[in-house]
Amino acid sequence: MNKPKMTTEKGVPSNSRVLMLLGQLERLNREAMLADAEIGRQITAKILHLIQTQEKTRKEIMSKGSSGMEVILATLENTQDLQTILNILYILNELLTVGGGRRVGVFVSKGGTGILLQLVLSGSKESLPSEELMLQLHSLLAKVGPKDRKFGVKARLNGALNVTVNLLKQNLQNHKLLLPCLQVLRVYSSNSVNAVSLGKNGVLELMFKIIGPYSKKNTSLLKVSLDTLGALLKSKTNARRAVDRAHVPVLLYIYQDWHRNDTRHRHMLIRKGVLGCLKNITNIKLGRKAFIDADGMRILYNTSTECLPVRTLDPLINTSSLIMRKCFPKNRLPLPTIKSVFHHQLPHVPAGGPVAQLYNQPLGVDDVVDESDDNDDVETENDTENEEEDKDHHARNDDIETDINKLRPKETNSRPFEELKIYERFFLELSEDFQRFNFDNPKSGVTATPAAPKSQRPIIVPTAQALPPKYPTAAPLQEECHLAKGEQPHPEASPLAPAPTPAPVHTLDTINITKDHDGCCDHSQVRPQPGLEQELVQGMERVALEGTGPQGGAGGGGVNRHYRQPPLLAGGVAAQQGGGAEETLAEEWAEEEGGEGAVLEVPDTALLLPLHDPDLYVEMVKSTRSVPQYSEVAYPDYFGHVAPTFREHILERVYGVQRTKIFQDIERLIHPNDILDKVVYDLDIQSCPVIDDGESLKFNSQFESGNLRKAIQARKFEYDLVLNSDINSNHYHQWFYFEVSGMRVGAPYRFNIINCEKSNSQFNYGMQVLMYSVQEAISGRPRWVRTGTDICYYKNHFSRSSIAAGGQKGKSYYTMTFSMTFNHKDDVCYFAYHYPYTYSTLKMHLQKLEALRTPQIYMRQDILCETLGGNSCPLLTITAMPESTSNDQICQFRNRPLVFLSSRVHPGETNASWVMKGTLEFLMGSSPLAHSLREAYIFKIVPMLNPDGVVNGNHRCSLSGEDLNRQWQSPSPELHPTIYHTKSLLQYLAAIQRAPLVFCDYHGHSRKKNVFMYGCSLKETVWQTNISATSCELHEDLGYRTLPKILSQTAPAFSMASCSFVVERSKEATARVVVWREIGVQRSYTMESTLCGCDQGKYKGLQIGTRELEEMGAQFCVALLRLKRLTSPLELRNHAHLLDVESDLIETRCKVSSSSPSTYVLEDEEHSFMEEVDYSAESGDEPDNDPDAADPHDNRLSDSESNNHRDSLT
């Protein structure tokens, strides 16, 4: 070893006594005088005395500029004198005992670990090894080992590993030496190779000789022994060895004994150590079997239950819970197949991808669970998951597009103009001269909205206590399913529509709407109140349903209500014969149902819901085509939703809720006789899905957008619910919408949706489910409200087959659970993931909007194409009419920039439709702002890109079984008609040099709060990578940030901090990226709206509702108007602050580079719960390809959520 020269730190007096002694010791080293052992002993003894008596001496030796440590280590390495060695070891012990990890780090960096290990080896070779030497060496090694990453390897290569083991075997009764040896052994065992080697050398058996039942003696020794044993058992080999030697029952007995005797809970760490050993053994299948055979489930369940009242014992409860959940036998979902109950035959099957795999799956294959399920050890699964997280962390950076050529917009059209010319008819406004238009009577020249095609099916509309859907009188509906002679199965399709697959259509029975004379009115003649635009322009509050009615009087309850009586259940009777038959049927039903319930009276909400008309809704339903051929109408869709006037706060998570739910699940295995396991609703039995025995809740989801496949009564008031896969798919379980009836008032019901797939959810962060009560609606409150308590989301014990998990084995489903107490007898309630917005609702709204058109508004509705299911995809054109036919006016009209909006490509993101509704209402409004906006732009709007998915209750896909927002690069006209023709419209605009100024696709986000945007930026994308690019290559107009920045200043729910403008490879086929890259639209965005609520701004701490979503749609319009004014040359100088985005970019860049290598510009998503129970551990927005609408990397938890979620672990 090189002889170090003694140096002193600036500021330390050179005449310091310890430094003088260290100088003498240095000279002894340099002059090789260590043979004079006495001098070395004296000097080291004096240094030790100074260190023990003076704190400043330690600081002088360990100060930043001092070489004291090097001198001491050199002496330790070179001397042969035992007493000098011991003195130095005492010195090192004193130095490293205080001062934290920095001093240990210095010791390791100077090579101290190797010197100590060498002394262990040389000391063991003595005929009588010094016990004090070994004690001091191992005490020091226990301190420095955890700080040396290569400690285990050094010990194994050096031979010190075997020395420690032999020392341990020889001193089992010498507790003074045993403790440091065990401490070092614990560090050795953290290396997997060492752990296996130690297991072979019998160390496992040694540990079981040391640990034992409850005792007040040697508790420190016992604690270290258990920690060492736990480290050894992380090795699968050692875990198998422990199982083979029947150590699992021993550990359970020890744990029970300590639990029983440690009544004052002073030795919780020992009890936790025993659980840690069990936890590691049960990582292998043999260990889980041994645990079950030893009655471990009952033992841990009982001990944990007894620990529940003591909050400080939560670590024991959490670890016990983890072990029990791990050992809980993996179950298969209670389904015959994970494929959707419904099937739609495709025109042709794609050559590759999940849909092709689905179609090519051999008959008889069990796709619910793998045959090899549970054969792979959990340890492997966990390792894989951790690797995936690491991979995901790197992949996030790897996912960023690094090819600058791909980041530049394409300059050539991919399709010939002749092929695109057929789309000219959708842009009549660009060539309209209005010569035949009568400006004195403007409505005379406007193209009428295409008439809705008529269905040939009877429609069932809800009544107060109407018969269940499968009432016997409805039987003829099944029998009369045929086409009338000469009738066509489909209405006349758009010339762009693909030929739909022929489907049987039911005979149409006309429905007669009966109304009370007092409440009879013609709603089409009522001029509705302006909507959200009035809030923006005049600041008026929306009329509340509970408030004074239009006529105001104080008497009679202060509410002037109009009542309507909805159509009765049309179950195959000849309703078309007139009112008489209907009245007779009503009387019969009233008698059979006990009187008053056959007719349902609710307040007329026409003044509050200007775009809603129940009668018109039924007409729209008749022309809506679904794969299951739905013939029922859900009550909330029929009568509409009036946004509540009260605030709905984000639910504060109750301490211990998840733990309680998990223990209730474990009880199913402990007390299997308490489980009913009774199927009460099953769509797989299509002839009779509702199984009604009068004792259970009744479920139904057979209506538009409904999704519930199966309901199983587990306990008297607990139900397991299974969601249906998207059609032509075997996964995407998230959206739900179903009806519940037959409930008892005040009973504590628990509902568990057991086949969720995402690894985390906003249900863990305060989001509640939505409920619509018929009784509340009758009482004058027709609205969806946030409801449910004890809500949580966690991994369950149902296996997810590799077929459904993209080839990955060992995956589990997740449970979303909530509790509910019903307040009304004979109620019918609907539950939904988010505020439902059906395709028929859209059609009704569009027709009502057409009626709102004033002479100043140019509005045209075209049918863009027909979907795979035979539904029309509407395309809207909205702008302002020219004031006259003068050349200037016509020229200004034609040359307005275009704004292209789309929405609802993912059916489960219903919030996107509510935002679109707010946009459409504002655009059709009469305010000066709306008028200015129409004069500024021509709006082309596709309000629902995926009608089929919406109608059939899908969460993500169309009938093709594919995510349409991943098809924009090469859409198929047969399989993805709405995307194909929407992209064609944009390509046509690019071809005629009229590309939109703004493109925005409305989405919903299930993993983040607030409303925010994703955009596209070459510069910001390159900044997130290591590629080098010249400034000229990165030249970019920063205008893409202007619109989001305006929104952040005007829209309360919008968060600029959550926005991202990075382009990833995984999103290259999304609308946002394709429109930016191929169409050349710089301001191409995805606007994401939270499904939960906001954590900033005016709505902080509140769950989002339809009022806020519609407001967001209106505020988007206002932002577009400000964008127009800001980009006008005359206005630029007055609004320079909004366009000064370079500083924002620099701030963002610094923020990213100083934090983590996240691919996204801003913070990570909300963290998964940091609980030991691995039920919500994976943090990416799933390996399943979540859309642009589900980027997983944005929004850290707020401080309050971080605190709350630590509590929720219990």
Using CA atoms, how far apart are residues 584 and 767, in angstroms rounded to an integer? 46
Own/partner long-range contacts of 201-210 (Cβ < 8 Å, ≥24 apart): 201/162, 201/165, 202/169, 203/165, 203/168, 203/232, 204/229, 204/232, 204/238, 204/241, 204/242, 204/245, 204/247, 205/245, 206/168, 206/169, 206/172, 207/232, 208/247, 208/250, 209/172, 210/172, 210/178, 210/182
The dihedrals phi and psi of 180, each to the nearest 5 degrees, come to: -65, -35
Alpha helix positions (H), 201-343 = 203-210, 219-232, 236-244, 247-261, 268-281, 285-293, 296-307, 314-327
At residue 786's C-alpha, the angle toward residues 785 and 787, to 5°, is 110
> What tokens does 563 get?
């009542």
972 contacts 1057 by C-beta, under 8 angstroms: no
User: For residues 653 and 1204, is the Cβ–Cβ distance under 8 A?
Assistant: yes
Exposure string of 1112-1135, with b = 16+ CB inside 10 Å and e = fewer, is bbbbbbbbbbbbbebeeeeeeeeb
Tokens representing 426?
């959708």
Is 591 designated active site? no
Q: What is 822-868 written as a DSSP string?
A: --STT-EEEEESS----HHHHHHHHHHHHHH--TTEEEEEEEEEE-T
> Amino acid identity, residue 211?
I
Contact (CB, 8 A) for 1076 and 1144: no
Contact of 1013 with 1085, CB cutoff 8 Å: yes
**Residue type (1 letter), 513:** I
**End-to-end Cα spacing for the chain:** 54
Task: Supply 685's token pair.
Answer: 């039995």
Give SS3 for 95: helix
- 598 contacts 466 by C-beta, under 8 angstroms: yes
What DSSP character marks residue 600?
-
Q: Which residues contact 1155 (CB under 8 A, 6 or more apart)?
A: none
**What's the CA gap between 1061 and 1013, in Å, rounded?**
8
Which residues touch 716 (CB under 8 Å, ≥6 apart)? 676
Question: How far from 608 is each of 415, 447, 642, 783, CA to CA, in Å?
Answer: 48, 29, 7, 12
Q: How far is CA 251 from the centre of its chain?
A: 39
Residue 836 to residue 738: CA distance in whole angstroms: 11
Residues sharing a CB contact under 8 Å with residue 121, sequence separation 6 or more, in sequence order: 158, 159, 160, 163
Tell me which of 1088, 1108, 1171, 1172 is the catalytic residue: 1088
Residue 898 near residue 940, CB atoms below 8 Å: yes
Contacts of 665 (CB under 8 A, 6+ apart): 325, 328, 796, 797, 815
Based on C-alpha coordinates, what's the Rg of the chain? 37
Q: Which residues are catalytic?
A: 1088
